């Protein structure tokens, strides 16, 4: 999995940003996996996940409600949960280890934080994927503060223009940072966008003028 891999930001901010991606293995254990995926999401929500999502059919806004999203999970689904606390992630991984449903679980976050979560859960990492950064005409990219928010949606559905608009509305007092972050979560079909982290970033952005991208 790579769409959760390229989140940008300062280390302090990224220490409050974790994504769990859960899925069956194609051709191996897909049949009957829907109930198992729902159980994993139930555990995530019990342990304080900020958001959960379904990469196949969309997040709670795409499907009308959280209950509908959970009810619609299919055997071939790929589901996600977002956390802002390493201790909660470790507790979730410990619970996953105990029930041992045989599904793939990928944890995205800073290497040392993920390693600590695995260790605290009595697990050893199987594989590590690492982003190699950005290539090409990076001078044409948006500002770093915009990219910190934009890259929380790995498919780029949280558009730069929308981020700038929401930051402006927060700055003008039309939205709270939390309301703005929830608006930015809505287009992220997979549900991997972290609105708690985004609210903090929007507060910082709203204190500064953020202009349009120049190409």
Residues 43, 20: Cα–Cα separation, whole Å: 12
**Strand runs labelled E in the chain:** 18-23, 51-54, 79-83, 104-108
The pTM of this model reads 0.91
Structural domain spans, the chain = 11-120, 138-206
Q: Are 184 and 149 in contact (CB under 8 A)?
A: yes
Tell me the CATH number of domain 11-120, given options 3.30.70.1110, 3.20.20.70, 1.10.287.130, 3.30.465.10: 3.30.70.1110
pLDDT by residue for the chain (215 residues), tens only, comes to 478 989 999 999 999 999 999 999 988 999 999 999 999 999 999 999 999 999 999 999 999 999 999 999 999 999 999 999 999 999 999 999 999 999 999 999 999 999 999 999 999 888 899 888 888 999 999 999 999 999 999 999 999 999 999 999 999 999 999 999 999 999 999 999 999 999 999 999 888 764 444 44
């Amino acid at each position: 999995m790579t769409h959760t891999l390229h989140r940008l930001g300062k280390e302090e901010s990224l220490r409050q940003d974790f994504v769990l991606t859960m899925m069956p293995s194609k051709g191996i254990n897909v049949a009957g996996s829907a109930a198992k995926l729902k159980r994993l999401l139930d555990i995530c929500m019990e342990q304080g996940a900020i958001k959960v999502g379904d990469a196949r059919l969309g997040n709670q806004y795409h499907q009308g409600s959280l209950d509908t999203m959970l009810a619609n999970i299919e055997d071939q689904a790929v589901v996600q949960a977002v956390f802002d606390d390493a201790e909660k992630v470790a507790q979730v991984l410990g619970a996953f280890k105990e029930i041992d449903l045989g599904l793939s679980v990928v944890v995205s976050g800073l290497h040392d934080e993920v390693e600590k979560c695995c260790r605290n859960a009595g697990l050893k990492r199987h594989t590590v994927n690492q982003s190699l950064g950005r290539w090409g005409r990076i001078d044409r990219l948006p500002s770093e503060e915009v990219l910190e928010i934009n890259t929380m949606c790995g498919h780029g559905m949280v558009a730069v223009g929308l981020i700038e608009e929401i930051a402006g509305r927060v700055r003008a007092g039309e939205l709270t940072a939390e309301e703005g972050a929830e608006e930015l979560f809505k287009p992220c079909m997979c549900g991997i966008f972290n609105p708690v982290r985004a609210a903090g970033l929007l507060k910082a952005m709203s204190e500064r003028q953020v202009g349009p991208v120049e190409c």
